[in-house]
Amino acid sequence: MTDVAPAAVPFDLATLKMHWRRRIEAMRATGVLPLIDVESNLGDDLDIQVFARQMDGEGVALIAFSAVPQGRGWNDAARHAVAADPWRYIPAGNGGLPPDWKRDPVEFARASREHTRSDGYPLMGEYEFRHYPSPDQIQRGHRERDEDLPIDGPAGHELFRFSAESGISFQIHHEIEDQTLAPLEKMLTQYPKAKVIWCHLAQMRYQSRNTVYGPDYVRKLIEAHPNLYFDLFSGPPDHVYPGSGEYAGRYWDRSTGKLKPEWATLIADHPWRFMVALDLNPFIMKAFPRKVAVQRAVLDSLPPSAREIVAYKAAWKLLFNEEI
């Protein structure tokens, strides 16, 4: 991928959007429900040609390509991806991942602001505030990524402020715990124009740490905060988080493999606030078809009127402020 010269910046979004729109329309014309994945961290060594065929095979129209900073500061890999394949990747800013984000969150938030502004990214990456070690890290013997950065600290203010000023959305990873809710609500209230995607709806890895969050709570948040969005990434219904031994995806009815009715109703009532996410990272690319199947199971649980919105229309509207 990085054999190709990086795309010029600011990105030529008008031309790119024309390609992306055509791709979505071509999929629809063949009867496929196209997906836009708003949240994936892809590697610099992604085999663009092989992955293009996989995306086509799974009906994934577009992936928001967020590059992984690897301790060397801002990573321009999304520019290479867009140059190599302008039909399939929406450039997203780097994710707030260790080590760069952890080492100096304020500096990383400022770098995000500068690059988003000068390069014209239509979406920022996923910033880890409260974050437990991910399952694939635990499997690889890495339990040290147990992050706890206050969302109402200086880096959080930097991101919320920039998003409110620019209208560019950013994504947060913020584990569901009673104690993490109040600081987030405070920030949403202080920055009502900040566009926040709270990643991984209903992913709860330690039930004992939450007595509040559920469909009623999320509904109240949505009604109180017009610029709050959620991504729908989840493991499959039987996925057990290895850190706790608990089923992590709480929106599933494990007996049917579909959403619990109360979650499906919530999403159907507010479909423009929810979007598909695959949460890919370079270590788990083999899981791509399985992850797509999980998101399609979520969509299949929704009434037909909500499916297209959640599959790709909500993401398009959030990123480009227009309907597709």
User: In the complex, which residues of this chain contact Zn ion (CB under 5 A)?
Assistant: 173, 199
Residue nearest to Zn ion as judged by C-beta position: 173
Residue placing its CB nearer to Zn ion in the complex, 117 or 145: 145
In 10 A of CB 278, how many CB atoms? 25
Residue placing its CB nearer to Zn ion in the complex, 7 or 180: 180
Q: CB of residue 174 vs Zn ion: minimum separation in angstroms?
A: 9
Helix (H/G/I), strand (E/B), else coil: 197: strand
Q: CB of residue 133 vs Zn ion: minimum separation in angstroms?
A: 12
Q: Are 11 and 120 in contact (CB under 8 A)?
A: yes
In 10 A of CB 91, how many CB atoms? 26
Which tokens is 42 given? Answer: 């892809």
Helices and strands: H and E segment counts in the chain: 13, 14
Residue placing its CB nearer to Zn ion in the complex, 58 or 147: 147
Nearest to 34 by CA among 46, 25, 43: 25
Q: CB of residue 209 vs Zn ion: minimum separation in angstroms?
A: 17
Residue placing its CB nearer to Zn ion in the complex, 199 or 298: 199
Strand partners, 131: 147
Residue placing its CB nearer to Zn ion in the complex, 11 or 108: 108
Q: CB of residue 14 vs Zn ion: minimum separation in angstroms?
A: 31
Q: CB of residue 18 vs Zn ion: minimum separation in angstroms?
A: 31
Opening angle at CA 318, ends 149 and 225, nearest 5:
60
Nearest to 100 by CA among 168, 40, 147, 163: 147
